[in-house]
Structure 1
Amino acid sequence: LLFGALFVALVTLARSPLAAQDATNAPGTTVGTTVGTPQLYLPAMVQTDICLGVSEIPAQECRALVTLYRATGGPNWDKQDGWLESTSPCTWFGITCAGGHVTHLNLLVLVLSPSPDPFTPPFPQWLGNNLRGTLPAQLGDLRHLQSIRIYGNPRLTGPIPATLGNLTGLTNLSLEANSLTGPIPAALGNLTNLESLVISNNALSGALPPELGNLENLTTLWVHLNRLGGPIPGTLGNLARLDYLDLSANALTGPIPTELGNLSALTYLSLADNLLTGPIPGELGNLTALHHLHLEGNQLYGELPATLNGLTNLGYLDLSRNYLIGHIPTTLGELSLAMLHLDDNGPTLCIGWETLVSLRANGLSQFTMPPGDVCIADRNFCDTMTQISYGDCLGLAGLATTTDVRQLYPEWMVDEESCRWRGVQCQQLSDGRMQVVALVMADPPFLTGELPANLDNIGFLRELDLHGGQLTGTIPPRLGDLWNLSILDLADNDLAGEIPAQLGGSYALHRLDLSGNHLWGAIPPELGDSPLLQVLDLSDNGLGGTVPVELGNLSQLTSLDLHGNAADLCLPAELNTFVQGLANYHAPPGGICPSSAP
């Protein structure tokens, strides 16, 4: 009788408000309310017996929730309203019930984030809830769950419980942006009702389980930004309803499975930034609903399959940073691409000019080609060029790719005597071949477009004068590799960005004119390392800060123009004597820097 009375007393205590406080502690910790109150140690069974008073869901489900709370630092959650404070778990934060069971577990916090536009109201945003610890296996006891959303918790570690494979009614599983480790459980292949599986941005390792191919109702599979390796299982080709597949930023190996060509509902496919090898399978051309295809950053090789013209809805294609070779299929010009990236590939990758013109006519706005590794015109124009070197041809072809030079001057990329192209100046070598030494297009009609990255292929270029046009984009840093360049005049265009530090240090540069653009940032001190520089014009830009004292090393300088820049561009006092000795000097808007003024 005495033992029974004691047990009843303990159960009563467990149901009291004291138990609510105790339930926030780990099993086996002390119960107490004030300093000096005698400490009473309760067994774990009694601590969890808040669930004995729960009638709206089974006790097993209640205990699974209590275990989750304790295993993930529940008292430290940003939001934990009701948890272990009442015998109505269906009212606890993030819990939804139906039919006497827990159906939704949503441990995200909805906040209103301020808009950068003061005239736009704040917008709702889901954030993590500061879970820390590991997900308990008891989650698998919530057999009627339809949705789990636990993401954005950097301190949530450990594996994905294999017991989640018991939740066969689950339609949504989102564990994104935590720090989960270990393999993806093969048991997740049991979740045949699953429509969305989002486990990206964790630290998951191992291989993709072939059992994921059993998820016949899956429409979204996000597994990017993990540490997964091994091959892509061909069973993923069974996911007939899949709309969005992202396996990027892992360490997946082997070829792209041809079975992926069966995913007829797919609109987004990213396998980027892995270690995939082999050719691009022609079966991908069957993905007629595809709008985004990202295969960049792998080790793919071979030629592009002609079947890619079957991607009639494709808008974005990125094949950069691979080892692709050969001729871009002319049928690619039939697509209405907005973005095409082919840079950093094999040295023979080329695209026919007419293909490129067709792509531009169809709306191509973002376009990159391999710097120095591209032949532009049909029949590999630069491979057949005999008058000038292959490198010279590639540099000129790059300009034809990124600007409208061929529309302005029809002989470009057609006439094999490239030294007769407008703006191209050559000198004859002892072997009879010609060498491009100048590229001057400073008279109407002026160029529009961007400067290509590969002009440095014209290795003996002495003069580059493209002033007065409508060139946009940035100044390619590789122009600094033109060691013979004496004149660089890009004035009065619409160039933006910072002045590349690589332009400094050229022993041949006599004149550098970048005036009348939209350049910003600081003047690079490396410009002071050009010993033969005589004219430096950086006026009418947005340059700011302090003029580098290294410009005082330019012993041959006769003209320096810094006017029309940002108001804070100023000259250090150390350079005042130097600039006063120049034949032509226009001061920056800030005059002498206040901190260095005498």
Structure 2
Amino acid sequence: MISRLLNSFLFILCALCSINYFENPTASGFTNETDREALLAMKHLVLSDPFRALSSWNASLHFCTWHGVACGSKHQRVIALNLSSLQLAGFLSPHIGNLTFLRRIDLSKNNFHGTIPEEVGQLFRLQYLSLSNNSFQDELPGNLSHCSNLRFLGMEGNNLTGKIPSELGSLSNLRAPGLLKNHLTGSLPRSFGNLSSLVSLSLRENNLEGSIPIEFERLSRLAYLDLSFNNLSGMVPEELYNISSLSTVAMVSNNLSGRLPLDLGLTLPNLQTLYLGLNRFLGPVPASIVNSSGLEYLDLASNSFSGPVPKNLGSLRYLQILNFGFNKIGDKNNNDLTFLTSLTNCTDLKEIGLYKSNLGGLLPNSIANLSTNLYYLVMWGNYITGTIPTKIGNLKSSQALDLADNMLTGRLPESIGKLVMLKEFYVHLNKISGEIPSALGNISGLLKLDLGVNLLEGTIPVSLANCTSLNLLDISHNHLSGFIPEKIFSLSSLTLGLLLGSNRLSGRLPSQVVNMRNLIQLDISRNKICGEIPSTLETCLMLETLNMSGNFLRGTIPSSFKKLRSIRVLDVSCNNLSGQIPEFLADLPFLSNLNLSFNEFEGKVPAEGAFENASQFSIAGNNKLCGGIKAIQLPECPRTKQHKRFSKRVVIIASSVAVFITLLLACIFAVGYRKLSANRKPLSASTMEKKFQIVSYQDLARATDGFSSANMIGDGGYGSVYKGILGPDGQTVAIKVLKPEQRGANRTFVAECETLRRIRHRNLVKIVTACSSIDFKGNDFKALVFDFMPGGSLESWLHPSTVESQNSKRLSLLQRISMLIDVASAFDYLHNHCDEQIVHCDLKPSNILLDNDLTAHVGDFGLARILSAATGETPSTSTSSLGVRGTVGYVAPEYGMGGQVSISGDVYSYGILLLEMFTGKRPTDSMFTGNNSLHNFAKTALPDQVSEIIDPLLKIDTQQLAESSRNGPSSSRDKIEGCLISILQIGVLCSVELPSERMVIAEVLSEFNKIRKILCSK
């Protein structure tokens, strides 16, 4: 009995002591004075106070009256500290742990840095803690779990690293932990499933990885879940979709996969926001989604969702954003777009994104009846047919209208002029005809207008000059004619580009170009522009690309061009320009692509600046040039007139002797072997230019040590290639010897000669000479002599034959891009800049040769076709007798079905080559069987699985490139991944089955130059 009484007494005593500890300010050793001292210690570590918010923290005032300090009325202890948005900078003092009565701390939106003191974990009464939008570093203290009353934890917008402490899972009162926008790593703590009071969980913009814990299913009160922009992977637990309280689910930009439950709309009846973009989700969009009647934002972009789209999305009356872009929700059939009509019921709809979604069928007229609040309608990159509705002007709130890269026909409706809020209008890459509506001039706030690659005709409306905010105007690749309106060149707002190329525009280039001081790109190529280049272009100081090729310009390059210090690309080829090449071009610091070909320039070629590297400039077709670097092999410039006359005589005499000796030898051979050679057809004199040196069989045999196998560097169907040292100068050459026994070899030789005599470009293998003769045994002998390419073939770099080669032959990302630009430049020249179009017909890695600088040169024109400039057909007088050939895997599919040779066939081969270069897989790889092909392999991986299919060696290079970036690995990694996606998209678009749907090579070249510019930018 006494023992029981004693125990009861001790229990009461302990209880009283406990009460005294918590309620008596002095019982625990912390008093009003310690609170004051703690606040002063905090002030001491504030290094910057621009608003003098802490000036009141001094001895003349009681600390309970200090700015931002709140005390309890009973004991005058600090219970709240609110110093938000004061631009305070410094450290958070550990003495904050002495403010033991604190219930609320708000230091958000300042510039505190350093480590969060662990002493914060001593504040067991704390309910609200916000340190967001500062610069705190290091790890989040795990002992915050001691703050058992904590309801709100705001740590977003700092530089916190390390893992999320699993101890935080014991905070049963926690309702909203905000840890977004940090650098947290590791996995999501399973212990968070114990946070029974949790209402909001935001962990976006960190580096978290692993899967979403199944324990999260226990968060029965959760309404807001945002895990976006992390590295989470795996399937989302289906149980998570059963949390009926969820109103927002955001998981954008992770590696999450799996399917959405078919009953999603039934299990999440309160759903208002569903953001799942940039992941790997697949399967259909659940039809039950319409049961989430309060849904406002639905964004599933950049996944692998398939169709069909639920037809009754219009029942989502509150829907504001709908984005299905970069998915496969369509089947390219006529029913793909029927769901758009139901969306006319969504009166709050503001954004629709259906780009690159495999959608086909007619564009319904009902889109003109969509919400008048709609400001964003983007449907580019599909297979949509039909015409743009005449009542499109009903969408009066539209700011962005993008219907590019489809199969739209008809005219641009005049009602577009009613879209006075429009900022961006894109309809390029369609088949739209008729004239450009003058009503476009009503949209004074228009920023970007792209009507390129269509069938538009007529003149350029002067009314476009009313679009005084326009910074991009692209009407290239149409059938426009007439003069360029002078007022267009008065648009000082044009900065991004004025692109008028590939039309039928005539007249002079207006001098009003002086107004476009900030223009970056000007393209008037392939028109009928005449007259002289206006010197007023000197005012375009920001100009980076100037393309004036393929016109009738005359005169000289203005000396004022020396002021264009930002110029990177200058193309004035295929004009009637004359005079000397200005030396100041060598002084332009960024000029890296200079094309002066096919003009009438004369005199000395500079050897500095852009002229130091033969891959950076072209002077082909200017026959009066001399000097320059050795690589371009021009004659030396004469020093004096007397020396010039003497040199002429020497050349004439030497040439006459050489011709006489050659003719004499030819006669001797002809007499000795007339029976053997009677039926042989001699090589036409027109097949090679007279300037090529004459070589005999004996010369070539001596150059190759008798065609020794040790000098053989390649062997193909029609001939073998040898390395040789030719002539007294010791020129290293590659000698392609035709196999006379091979059927078609003779025709191939004639075809290649006929083609090569017409062309000259820095990215084509240069021919030295040709030989049609008889060997020592009286057999027919034919050979072509080329510049030797020491870098070997691209084939040997992509698929090395030995382990040593694999270790040494690694092409970087930028090297691969540069090579593809080289090849595209060559094909752009063949397709668009020759007197007659030339189709190569056999592009593959083994036909691309590399010099010492790994500049790519296209070779082997044995199957080339010369197309008539007027009809686009193969003329009977050229190489039409050759059968359609190519290499399996690279040859365009229409050729195999008897289709006519065309430049789009070369584009197909280019697309396959591109995909091979970036995946490391040959198109004939054993994995490609049935309907599976290299094209489909890449297409299926776009856009979210690109990192899985690229060449492993390239993946290593991109990682190193990202880590070395000044902008930080994360930013650079995103930029590189975006460029890889764009590159593979080009490859896929070039290698589609239908020729009419392929890109044109000029567009490919333009896109690659943009990609290289992005990667090279700091």
CA distance in 2, matches of 1:142, 1:56: 8
Q: Match for 2:54 among 80, 83, 87?
A: 80
1:338 and 2:296 aligned: yes
Residue 391 of structure 2 aligns with an amino acid whose one-letter code is: G
- The separation in 1 between residues aligned to 2:409 and 2:45, in whole angstroms, is 69
Correspondence for 2:878: none
Q: Is the 8 A contact 2:235 2:256 kept in 1?
A: yes
Give the letter aligned to residue 106 of structure 1: L
2:380 and 2:473 map into 1 onto residues whose CA distance is 30
Give the partner amino acid of 1:466: P
Counterpart-to-counterpart distance in 2, 1:209 and 1:547: 50
Shift of 1:263: 1.5
Instruction: Say whether residues 1:468 and 2:426 are aligned partners.
Output: no
Of 408, 417, 423 in structure 2, the residue corresponding to residue 498 of structure 1 is 423
Matched, 1:92 2:66: yes
Equivalent-residue separation in structure 1 for 2:275 and 2:367 (angstroms): 33
Q: Distance in 2 between matches of 1:258 and 1:230?
A: 17
Task: List per-residue Cα deviations over 1:330-383 (Å, max 9, x = no partner).
Answer: 32221111221111111x4335434xx1563453332111345213xxxxxx2x
Cα gap change, 1:181 to 1:323, in 2 (>3 Å): same
| 1:73 alignment partner, SS class | strand
Cα RMSD over matched residues? 4.5
Aligned to 1:181: 137
User: Structure 1 residues 398 and 71 mapped into 2: Cα distance closer, same or farther (>3 Å)?
Assistant: farther
Alignment of 1:138 with 2:95, yes or no, is yes
Deviation at 1:285, TM superposition (A): 2.4
Distance 1:441 1:263 in 2: 44
Kept after mapping to 1: 8 A contact 2:82/2:107: yes
| Mapped pair 1:400 → 2:374 | no
Alpha carbons of structure 1 residues 74 and 522: separation in structure 2 relative to 1, 3 Å: closer
Percent identity of paired positions between Structure 1 and Structure 2: 25
**TM-aligned CA deviation for residue 223 of structure 1:** 1.1
Q: Residue 251 in 1 paired to residue 207 in 2?
A: yes
Opposite residue 468 of structure 1, the aligned amino acid is K
Aligned to 1:103: 78
What SS does the corresponding residue of 1:489 show, helix, strand or coil? coil
Correspondence for 1:128: 85
Q: Hey, what does 2:268 align to over in structure 1?
A: 311
Query: Does the aligned pair in 1 maintain the 2:380–2:402 contact within 8 Å?
Result: no
1:538–1:141: structure 2 CA closer, same or farther, 3 Å change rule?
Answer: farther
- Following superposition, the deviation at residue 582 of structure 1 comes to 11
8 Å contact 2:132–2:157 — kept in the other structure?
A: yes
CA contact 2:184–2:206 (8 Å) conserved in 1: yes
Structure 1 equivalent of residue 611 of structure 2: none
Q: Deviations over 1:466-507 (max 9, x none)?
A: 22243464555460x35x76655244156543234x656889
CA distance in 1, matches of 2:192, 2:163: 13
* Mapped partners of 1:445, 1:503: distance in 2: 16
Shift of the 440–258 alpha-carbon distance from structure 1 to 2, 3 Å rule, reads: closer
In structure 2, what is the Cα distance between the partners aligned to 1:406 and 1:174? 44
| Deviation at residue 190 of structure 1 after TM alignment | 1.2
Note the C-alpha offset of 1:268.
Answer: 1.4
Shift of 1:539: 6.2
* Distance of 1:101 and 1:179 partners within structure 2: 32
Evaluate the alpha carbon distance shift between residue 455 and residue 360 of structure 1 in structure 2; reply closer, same or farther with a 3 A threshold. Answer: farther
Contact 2:244–2:268 under 8 Å retained in 1: yes
- Residue 153 of structure 1 is matched in structure 2 by 110
Tell me the residue number matched to 1:278: 234
1:105–1:147 CA contact under 8 A, matched in 2: yes
What is the TM-score when the length of structure 2 is the normalising length? Answer: 0.39
1:508 positional shift: 8.2
For residues 230 and 527 of structure 1, what CA distance do their matches in structure 2 show? 48
1:195 alignment partner, one of 146, 151, 158: 151
> Mapping of 1:579-598 within 5 angstroms?
none
Structure number having the greater helix percentage = 2
**Residues 145-201 of structure 1, C-alpha deviation per residue, up to 9 Å, x if partnerless?**
1111101113x1111111111111101101111111111111111111011111111
Counterpart secondary structure, 1:557: strand
Unaligned runs of 5+ in 1: 1-54, 109-126, 376-381, 383-391, 408-434, 576-580, 584-592
Matched, 1:292 2:248: yes
Aligned letter for 1:489?
A: L
Q: Contact between 2:127 and 2:149, CA under 8 Å: does it hold in 1?
A: yes
In the alignment, the residues of structure 2 paired with residue 59 and residue 447 of structure 1 have an alpha-carbon distance, to the nearest angstrom, of: 71
* C-alpha distance in 2 between matches for 1:403 and 1:298: 33
* Distance (Å, rounded) in 1 between the aligned partners of 2:474 and 2:221: 60
The residue that corresponds to 1:557 in the other structure is 481
Residue 363 of structure 1 corresponds to which residue in structure 2?
A: 318
1:163 match: secondary structure: helix
1:208 is aligned to 2:164 = yes
Q: Within 2, Cα distance between the matches of 1:254 and 1:265? A: 24
CA distance in 1 between counterparts of 2:471 and 2:152 reads: 56
Matched with 2:855 is none
Does the Cα contact within 8 Å between 2:411 and 2:432 map onto a contact in 1?
no
Structure 1 residue matching 2:115: 3-state secondary structure: coil
Q: Please state whether the residue corresponding to 2:325 is helix, strand or coil.
A: coil
Question: In 1, distance between residues paired with 2:486 and 2:296?
Answer: 39
Q: Structure 1 CA distance, aligned partners of 2:338 and 2:432?
A: 26
Structure 2 CA distance, aligned partners of 1:74 and 1:289? Answer: 44
Say if 1:143 and 1:552 are closer, same or farther in 2 by CA, change over 3 A: closer
User: Are 2:480 and 2:505, in contact at CA under 8 Å, matched by a contact in 1?
Assistant: no
Structure with larger RCO (C-alpha < 8 A, sep 6+)? 1
Number of aligned positions between the proteins: 451
| Counterpart code for 2:382 | N
